[in-house]
Chain A
Amino acid sequence: MNRKQILISILAAFCMYATAEAQRIKGSDTLLPLTQELAEEYLAEHPDREVIVTGGGTGVGLAALPEKTTDIAMASRRIKFSEKMKFAEINLDAKEVIVAYDALAVVVNPSNPVDSLTREQLEAIFRGKITNWKEVGGEDRKIVVYSRETSSGTYEFFKESVLDNKNYMSSILSMPATGAIIQSVRQTKGAIGYIGLAYLNRYVKALAVSYDSGRHYAYPSVGTAADGTYPIVRPLYYYYDAAREAAVSPFISFALSPAGQESVLRQGFVPVK
């Protein structure tokens, strides 16, 4: 037993040593492309540094923070109560930084004549109460509802914002990643799904959404998200250990710098300022 402990601590020490230089960033897949782009630019400015960006999801990132296997956790949702309690157990003071905002676009197949939906209609569609497009003014076609995987931050945010915290129907198609949703919505005539604004392309059609029962509709864009007229907007976070602030602050301040925020915009996210 004793020997094993020694072995593990040697390995652990080696592990610390080996990766002391590298900045490890882990978590949300939504933030991945953005963080990766930021990392590329950061590395171009500081070729001597090392940055490792890995996905896995918000849960993985936030779990890795107290385990010290990451320096920054990317999160597409706010830290959960249970996760906060876990941090408190080991006296970890997690600092939260909003790096960007993300608008979620509701997308349908380009051949779909429907252009806009209210929040109530969206809720009914994603909860399986409305199952045919003709009920919301479209063609007589079955609605095929695509969602992200149950545990992604995007899934949870959409549930909070659009579904008013109610649960999706169980027959919803869950896609492992946003790219797969686009692929499917593009192929499927009756499809509806939601994707980050950054992923919007010409193969899918974004819908205008109204949060006031149809009085005002807004199309998703960086502009409408920034001025608050588009309603489905969420903050994206970096979490880090306050005790290790010195180590992570160069990268974070780069992310928040004008240059960093410019690539936020370029990636299709909404800048913080």
Chain B
Amino acid sequence: MDTKMNIQPASVFPKGYSRRKRRSQTVAFAVFRVLSLFIVLILFAILGFIIWKGAGVLSWDFLTKAPSDGMTSGGIFPAIVGTLLLMLGSAAVAFPIGIMSGVYMNEYASKTGWAVKFIRLMTNNLSGVPSIVFGLFGMALFVKYLGFGDSIIAGSLTLGLLSLPLVIRTTEEALKDIPDGIREGSLALGATKLQTIWKVVLPMGMPRIITGLILSLGRVSGETAPILFTCAAYFFPQLPTSVFDQCMALPYHLYVISTSGTDIEAQQPIAYGTALVLILIVLIISLVAGFLRRYFEKRLKIK
């Protein structure tokens, strides 16, 4: 990267530019480069610190055992399972509704009508609602009003609604890029609108939709505030048996273990390990999403 950058000024500046201009550009670009490098360093500092401290804790037992001895030893298996269940549950809520909503916005609603504007406004607003407000709302509606109590279903619904805007937006964007000619071709062949969407538009948009959905799962996996009052259990070593059970969850477990607990010294490693597992989940998810994106792109090109 450096060599390339060094060559650039000569080619970018034709003869006749003053030295002052040249210098100000060099300085500005250098500043940008340094600041960008700084961000990379921050990310590596955070990741490096947690990996460095947490790697020693990670073991098969840590991943597959329940916490024991007052959470000073043992593993985090129930929290991992709980987080996976919440991801699944929220996906079950957000994916169908989100995809349908995205399809409606792009295929059915008139592009300039009030409905699209209104829905888009509301969707954007919903994506800006702080996660703690979702927590309050989930507690008021699902836990109290509908009487689910603190449970996986209440947590999943809350998290599902939280990730809904993201799902809608990805679906919409994926479908938007499909040329209208393809739709028109399908319709011209006598297919109905529904058939066109089902057989042509959705399959073409699917790669990007799936990538987006996976990324939204990543967001859900790390949320703490929404499940604080709707689902999360401090200690529940068995695995939940129904959707009305509470469950442990990785982000809440990390919060609890790093701020409360009787034996900080014994629990610190568990906290690092939990943080590492959380980050690994996020990393794996974004790697999978990136891989899928590239895979689909390649396949589309070949076609």
Complex Cα gap A18–B244 (Å): 7
Asked whether, in the complex, the Cβ of B235 is within 8 Å of the Cβ of A39, the reply is yes
Which residues on the A side are within 8 Å of B203 (C-beta)?
none
Q: Is B28 an interface residue (CB 8 A)?
A: no
Across the interface, name the chain A residue whose C-beta is closest to B72.
Answer: A33
12 pairs, A vs B, C-beta closer than 8 Å: A11-B146, A11-B147, A14-B244, A15-B244, A18-B241, A22-B245, A43-B237, A178-B260, A179-B264, A183-B264, A199-B262, A203-B264
Which residues on the B side are within 8 Å of A224 (C-beta)?
none
Tell me the smallest distance from the CB of A184 to a CB of chain B, in Å.
11
Which residues on the B side are within 8 Å of A176 (C-beta)?
259-260
Which of A8, A11, A14, A52 gathers most chain B CB within 10 Å?
A: A52
Q: Is A242 an interface residue (CB 8 A)?
A: no
Asked whether, in the complex, the Cβ of A177 is within 8 Å of the Cβ of B70, the reply is no
Q: Is B149 an interface residue (CB 8 A)?
A: yes
B interface, over-half SS: loop
Asked whether, in the complex, the Cβ of B246 is within 8 Å of the Cβ of A54, the reply is yes
Asked whether, in the complex, the Cβ of A15 is within 8 Å of the Cβ of B259, the reply is no
Asked whether, in the complex, the Cβ of B234 is within 8 Å of the Cβ of A53, the reply is yes
Which residues on the A side are within 8 Å of B241 (C-beta)?
18
Add 19 more A-B contacts to A18-B245, A33-B71, A54-B234 (CB < 8 A): A11-B148, A15-B148, A15-B149, A18-B244, A19-B244, A33-B262, A36-B71, A36-B235, A40-B68, A40-B237, A50-B238, A52-B245, A53-B235, A54-B236, A55-B234, A175-B259, A179-B260, A180-B260, A203-B264
Asked whether, in the complex, the Cβ of B233 is within 8 Å of the Cβ of A29, the reply is no
Cross-interface CB contact of B147 among A8, A39, A198, cutoff 8 Å: A8
Cross-interface CB contact of B262 among A56, A69, A198, cutoff 8 Å: A198
Known: A33-B70, A54-B150. A201 touches B236 (CB 8 A): no
Across the interface, name the chain A residue whose C-beta is closest to B68.
Answer: A40
A176-220 CB contact bits vs B (8 Å, 1 = yes)?
Answer: 111110110000000000000011010100000000000000000
- Considering only residues 69-94 of chain A, those with a C-beta below 8 Å from chain B are 69
* Chain B residues proximal to chain A, CB less than 8 Å: 68-71, 146-151, 229, 232-238, 241-242, 244-246, 256, 258-265, 267
Complex Cα gap A60–B237 (Å): 21
10 closest pairs, A vs B, by CB? A177-B260, A18-B242, A177-B259, A69-B149, A55-B234, A15-B244, A36-B235, A179-B260, A180-B259, A54-B233
Q: Is A161 an interface residue (CB 8 A)?
A: no
Which residues on the B side are within 8 Å of A40 (C-beta)?
68-70, 237
Known: A36-B234, A53-B235. A182 touches B150 (CB 8 A): no
Which residues on the B side are within 8 Å of A231 (C-beta)?
none
Complex Cα gap A14–B265 (Å): 42
Which residues on the A side are within 8 Å of B151 (C-beta)?
15
Tell me the smallest distance from the CB of A262 to a CB of chain B, in Å.
14
Complex Cα gap A40–B235 (Å): 10
